[in-house]
Every structure is written in structure tokens, then in C-alpha cells.
Amino acid sequence: MCGIAGIVGNYKESQLDKMLSVQSHRGPDATQKYFDSDFVALGHNRLAIIDLTSDSNQPFIDNSGRFAIVFNGEIYNYLEIKTTLKDQYNFRTESDTEVLLAAYIIYGKSCLEKLNGMFSFAIWDKQEKKLFAARDRFGVKPFYYSLHNGIFYFSSEIKALHIAGIEKVPNEKVWVSYFAFGSYGMPNETFWSNVEQLPGGFLLEFENQKLSIEKWYYFEKEVAKQPQNLTFDEAKRHYISLLKDSINLRFRADVPVGFNVSGGLDSSVLLALVNEQEDNSKINAYTFYTNNVDYDELPWVENMISHTQNPLVKVLLQADEVPDLNEKMQWQQDEPYGGIPTLAYAKIFEQARKDKILVLLDGQGMDEQWAGYDYYTQNNEATIQGVQDSPYKTQMLSESFLAKAEKPSYPKPFEDEVLNKQYRDLFYTKIPRALRFNDRISMAFSTELREPFLDYRLVEFAFSLPLDYKIKNGISKFMLREIASEYFEDELIFAPKRPLQTPQREWLAVDLKQWITQCFAGLEKSEYSDWFDNKVLKTELESYFQGNSQSSFHIWQCISFYEMLKRSNFKTHNIL
């Protein structure tokens, strides 16, 4: 887990130095650079997880000196791939980085299909003068880029591109769609003009100042290849086998591993299978709480942990911490993020780093593959669980700004509408934004987050199963509950899903009222005040303070935008 950066074209070394410095939190163990004359500069910030020796530092050069790689992520099945390549490549390290590079040298771009992992990497071919880059199937690890005046820039975080000289200008189409529809942009978009991201499951090549991008992972085709007509018990056994293997692979590390746990079903399954690892008594479990009985999942967590006796580290978030934490996290995120639950989650990684636990597992991805949200079986286009009224307040926006909004339209490659909603959440809405939030908060504290439930084999198989294996008699994630029932009592397994985990609505309305008021006042005085109908903005805020607080999303949207305005001048001068 690291930070990567590079420039292909006429560059200044000081640009690369700034890029590496601004994302140094992603890799505090080593920072190194590679240059191919005055044409290519590659840089890497390393967080050492596998093969901790300096021999595995990056940029990593192959034995011939022709290829150089910068890689962020983990290839979980690197040992298996290494075994198949040992007669074709002379390995000199124990790292997954060298295995990845060797696989590319031998297989070319088809190497991607052999990888089970989370990855974002770029390989420079010194002989052909060509850059090859790719991103994992679901986009767990980030890859941002900008093509400016024939020069190609890439990095793990947007701020690195801006500090290299790419002008920082809001992408108004994305911003207005965020305010109007809650969209965080399409897979290739960011909130900033002239900065794009490589979508998950895509690759790119840059040669002779020409950029080409292509899709390499076709989820729909892989789903169609899954075993058909399995009985419920056969499917259950197959899924358990895949799940256990996924967790085993994600315990491969040369540093201590822990895991995050909430009071929900997904965490209970993760907890149970983590404890099938050898020497599981020393595996730390982490959870957050806020001392609010209406939201905290601590009682459920403690009940679950009582079955396994893992050391439980409880991390407290209090309301008065939010403004300072938000300021730091807004800088880390570069774009709007999910609110106070994200801050609570961030404190877990901060504590894990203090405990010298450098790798954490979590349960992201189960709801999307098992149709776990209430709106999957409702006739609407909702993307938020448990909300009745729309959380988007378009009346706060000025008419001229709102006119630029484009309601997102998502592909529907399947005949079944539930499958199309799952597909949307996996590749366009919930998973992409959650992965971005979580990558930033884990890397902010130089820790690595792994998502065993997003193993592509699990997602493809669960997705392909009949709907009544997922939802039965009104019970969602039915097969998953059946699996969990082998480890825990029904009180835990069949508890209703709790969509809200922090008292964000109450804190913003009461405890943090003064801070919120200051943010809105600052927004009204900013150079972007013409994005809003300031009279309505005040009315909405007063209505919220007076108790109309079923949803706090519109309040948080304004806070996010103001905090980014406060920290930096968007329209910086281009220094290129």
C-alpha cells in the first residue's frame, strides 16, 4: 500500500518531489525516484507490508533494466503466480511487486486477468518509450491523471496533480450533480476540471503523446460464466469455500493484521472466519462508538466478541472533535466525503497505527453482492438506505447553477431490475465512493485496508445466484445469514439493518450549531455564492435547526464545499 506518481514528457524534478511530498503519508517507509533521461520521471512512497527489505523499494527495475514499475496495492495471490513463473523469470526479492512486473513482462496486458488483488500501477518500457497502467477490477486503489500540453501526469491523490501545476478549477458539472442528485461523478470523473481517474477494471497506454484507454474487466461476462442451477446448499458450500480462501489470502503480510467490526451481519461473518486463522487470539478487533445509545453498535459488537475473545479496541468519537477532524480529512480526501461516520472510521486507523497494526480488514461489499439494501426491491431509484424524503435540496441552488445539472444515467446490462441496481451500486455509486473515502482515511494514517468481501470471485458468484437465495420471505442477505447462524445466535444474525451509525443529524443541529452557522455564513460570502440561492440557504439552515432534520446530507454538502474553499484558492495560477 503506497503512493505512486509520475510524469511522461518534459518535466522538472521539483514537480515530482512536490508530488511525492504531498502524498508522503501514503508511504512513510521509503521514497525513491526513477528517471529515463529528461523524458520520464517516476516516484514512489512506500508503506512496507510484504518483503520489508529495501530490495523491494520502488520504483522497481526488472533484471534487464528495460522495465520500471510503481505499484500501489497488494497482489494477494502473488505466491501462486510466482510459482508458475519461476522457470521464466529470475526472482531476486520476496515481494509481490516483482511478481506483478514479471507477470506483465511474460504475459503482457493479459496478466491482469491472473491477478487477485487491489492494485493501481504504472510500468514504463524504456525500450518502446511507452507507459502502461491499470487499475483493479473494482477500483480499490486510486489512479488519477491529467494530460496537459502533451505531458501525462499521474498520481494516487488529486492534490499531487494540483501541486505539480495542474490548475485547480472546480468541475461544475460534477459539483452541481452532487448537490442536486447526490452523485459523486461517473467512474472517470473527479470534482476538478482537467483531472480524471482511470475507472476500476480499465487500463491505459501512453505513447508518442497519445493516450488510449480500454476496459479489461467485463463483469457481465464473468457473471455469465458462473456455475448454474446449484441447489441452495451447493451454492452455500461453494460461497463459504471462496470466502475462506479470500480471507486467508488477505492475511498474507509481514506486519501485524487486525480487522474492523461493527454490530452488523457482515462483521459477524468476518469475525467468525477471521477466527479460523491460526493463532487468532492475538488478532485485534477495532470498533468506534459515540456514547449515544440510539446509534452506537457497541452492545452488539461486545456480544459478538464475547464468542471469540478477540482483543477489542474501542475508539470514541465526540462531537467537539468533528471540526478539526473534518478539516484534516477534507484535505486528505480532495473531494466531498461521507460525513461524520467517515471521521469515526478514520479514528480507528489512527489508533491501529499507534498500536503498530498496519493492515486492517473490513466488511465492505456484502450489501451490494447480496442485495442487502431495502431499496433493491422497491420501485424507485434510491441509493440511500432507510430514507423516506429526498435528502437532496435543489431549491438551495441558484437557477443558473442548477441548469448545469445532469441527472446520472447508469447502464442496465441485466434483464432483472434488482441485478441492475446491484450493478449500479458496485460500479457507479456506493462501492466507488466508499472505496475512495476508505482509501484516504486509511492512508492518512499510513495503514492498509483490505476488503475480503470484494474478492472478485465472491462478487461474481453471489451476484449470479437466484434472487430467492439473496432475499427470502422478506429477509435480505438470506444465504449470508444462514452462514452466520452457524457461528452466532439468531438475535445477532436476524437483527434489522441499522443504516445510521453516528448521531450526525443531532450533532449538526445542536452540538455543532455554531460551527455550522459559521460555515454557511462563509459560503454566502465566498466567490462561489452565486451557485446558491442564499435566501433559501438560510431558510433551509433555520428549518434544520428548528427540527426538520430527517436528513442532514444537504447540511454536510455545504460544509464539505466550504471547508475546501477555506483551505485553498480553487483558481490557482498554473505554474507549468
**Separation CA 42–CA 122 (nearest Å):** 9
How does the average pLDDT of the chain come out, rounded?
Answer: 92
| pLDDT at residue 381 in the model | 64
Query: Is 62 annotated to bind ligand?
Result: no
More confident residue, 486 or 413: 413
**Separation CA 494–CA 47 (nearest Å):** 39
| β-bridge partners, 120 | 72, 135
More confident residue, 278 or 306: 306
Is the pLDDT confidence value at 438 over 90? yes
| pLDDT at residue 572 in the model | 37
Is the pLDDT confidence value at 491 over 80? no
**Separation CA 239–CA 243 (nearest Å):** 6
More confident residue, 124 or 488: 124
| pLDDT at residue 68 in the model | 98
Q: Is 461:367 a contact under the CB 8 Å cutoff?
A: no
**499: confidence class by pLDDT, cuts 50, 70, 90:** low
User: Which residues are identified as catalytic?
Assistant: 2
Answer yes or no: same fold for 2-217 and 239-385+405-491: no
| pLDDT at residue 573 in the model | 33
SS3 34: strand
- What is the pTM assigned to this prediction? 0.94
pLDDT, tens digit, 9 for 90 and up, residues 166-189: 999 999 999 999 999 999 999 999
Spatial CB neighbours of 354, under 8 Å, sequence gap ≥ 6: none
Percent of the chain at pLDDT exceeding 70: 94
**267: confidence class by pLDDT, cuts 50, 70, 90:** confident
**Separation CA 4–CA 58 (nearest Å):** 9
**Separation CA 307–CA 118 (nearest Å):** 31
Percent of the chain at pLDDT exceeding 90: 81
Rounded mean pLDDT, 107-130: 97
| pLDDT at residue 119 in the model | 98
Distances in Å between the alpha carbon of 258 and those of 275, 311, 365, 434, 538?
A: 11, 10, 18, 20, 45
**Separation CA 167–CA 351 (nearest Å):** 36
Measured N-to-C along each axis, helices 456-464 and 232-249 cross at an angle, to the nearest 10 degrees, of 170
Lookup: cell for 491: 438475535
**566: confidence class by pLDDT, cuts 50, 70, 90:** confident
Lowest mean pLDDT of 193-202, 228-237, 355-364, 378-387, name the range.
Answer: 378-387
Rounded mean pLDDT, 252-264: 91
| β-bridge partners, 103 | none
Domain boundaries, the chain: 2-217, 239-385+405-491
| pLDDT at residue 170 in the model | 94
pLDDT, tens digit, 9 for 90 and up, residues 40-76: 999 999 999 999 999 999 999 999 999 999 999 999 9
If one looks up domain 2-217 in CATH, what number appears? 3.60.20.10
Contacts of 79-88 with C-beta under 8 Å, sequence gap 24+, read: 79/252, 81/114, 81/115
Rounded mean pLDDT, 85-91: 96
| pLDDT at residue 391 in the model | 84
Is the pLDDT confidence value at 245 over 50? yes
Q: What Rg, from alpha-carbon coordinates, does the chain have?
A: 23
| β-bridge partners, 532 | 397
| pLDDT at residue 379 in the model | 72
Fold adopted by 239-385+405-491: Rossmann fold (3.40.50)
